[in-house]
Structure 1
Amino acid sequence: MSEQYKHIVKRQQAQEAEGVFSHPWNPNSEISGSQLSRMAGLKRTGVSIGRLKPGKESFAYHLHHNEEEWVYILSGCGVAHIDGEDYELEPGDFVGFPTPSKAHQMINRGSEDLVYLMGGENLESEVADFPALDRRMVRTGDKIKVYKLSEGKDFGPL
């Protein structure tokens, strides 16, 4: 009998690996879920299942300069807050964030959990802006630097 293919993530494994994440710059951020792509051995793309409880938000309102992202709603209803506008989402809805993306975040204003798949690229370098917080995050590999957006200074090559 052959060995189990190690890049399959079974539902029970994903449930057992579930963790809770809160973005440090958003006190209302609380998302639980599993990083499915990492569990399956993928390095260049990220895919996670996320769950937002009623009244919670995904991350801090942000945009990406290099990495594309997407969201696919599995259950519950939510709001995609994109570029200052709210868009109601329900199961089966898909949202893409091509780069440079518009600022965005997911919000659960409903009465049941919002469950969705989210994914994107894992590039070596990324620049993400947090316009409501006046911050720019620059990541190269595992190194992260944060700058004030309003200073308008050249932050140099990546």
Structure 2
Amino acid sequence: MTDEQHSLLKASDINAMNAFEFHHPLNPNSEIYLHFLGRAVGLKRIGVTIARVPPGKESFIFHAHQNEEEWVYILSGRGIVEIGDKEYEVEPGDFMGYGLPQQPHHLRNPFDEDLVYLMGGEAGGLDIGIFPRLGKRVIRDSESAYIVDESALQLFWSSQQRSKPSTED
């Protein structure tokens, strides 16, 4: 495969890709099928993915990222997006962007046809996902992800403190 072929993903290639089926382990109604376009053309620092959520299912879980921005562009179908404490119906052509600091958000499909969208964002080496309704966080590095109950977090230092602990501690 040449560099030119590696950089170009034709529609026929995308249609021939096997979708990755994902069910978020903390949301029993999560069911989403993913085509990783960015990975297919060798992108390492940003992700670009086509996602499909069947009728009656949800994408992931109500969450926010601490270190990575993300976006969603609706291609077909309709859905309900929660952003913070508000809900909005979304349809083809609607765009959502989640900069930092990020509002918690979630996308679900209560309608009778598939919800299909293009999503993307940063793919850094370290991110923390916050699940505010569950009181949990996920800490992800480039190799693994760890879930932590917020009640188990112990403050090491804070920017509100006048001085940080010395490196000798």
TM-score, normalised on structure 2? Answer: 0.85
Instruction: Give the 3-state SS of the residue equivalent to 1:12 in structure 2.
Output: helix
Mark the CA change 1:41 to 1:3 in structure 2 (over 3 Å): closer, same or farther: closer
Q: CA deviation at 1:33?
A: 2.4
> 1:104-143 counterparts in 2 under 5 A?
104-143=105-144
CA contact (8 A) 1:131 1:149 kept: no
Q: Deviations over 1:48-82 (max 9, x none)?
A: 00011111100011100110010000011111111
Instruction: Provide the rounded CA distance (Å) in 2 between the counterparts of 1:125 and 1:106.
Output: 23
Out of 24-33 and 11-20, give the one that drifted further. 11-20
1:58 maps to 59
Unaligned runs of 5+ in 2: 158-169
1:33 is aligned to 2:14 = no
Instruction: Provide the rounded CA distance (Å) in 1 between the counterparts of 2:88 and 2:46.
Output: 26
Mark the CA change 1:12 to 1:149 in structure 2 (over 3 Å): closer, same or farther: same
Instruction: Provide the rounded CA distance (Å) in 2 between the counterparts of 1:96 and 1:50.
Output: 16
Unaligned runs of 5+ in 1: none
Superposed CA RMSD in Å reads 1.8
2:47 maps to 46
2:161 maps to none
1:12 maps to 12
Q: CA deviation at 1:151?
A: 3.9
1:99 is aligned to 2:100 = yes
Instruction: Give the residue type in structure 2 aligned to 1:111.
Output: D
Instruction: Provide the rounded CA distance (Å) in 1 between the counterparts of 2:3 and 2:74.
Output: 34
Q: How many residues align?
A: 155
Instruction: Give the residue type in structure 2 aligned to 1:44.
Output: R
Q: CA deviation at 1:124?
A: 1.1
Q: CA deviation at 1:99?
A: 1.4
Instruction: Provide the rounded CA distance (Å) in 2 between the counterparts of 1:120 and 1:132.
Output: 23
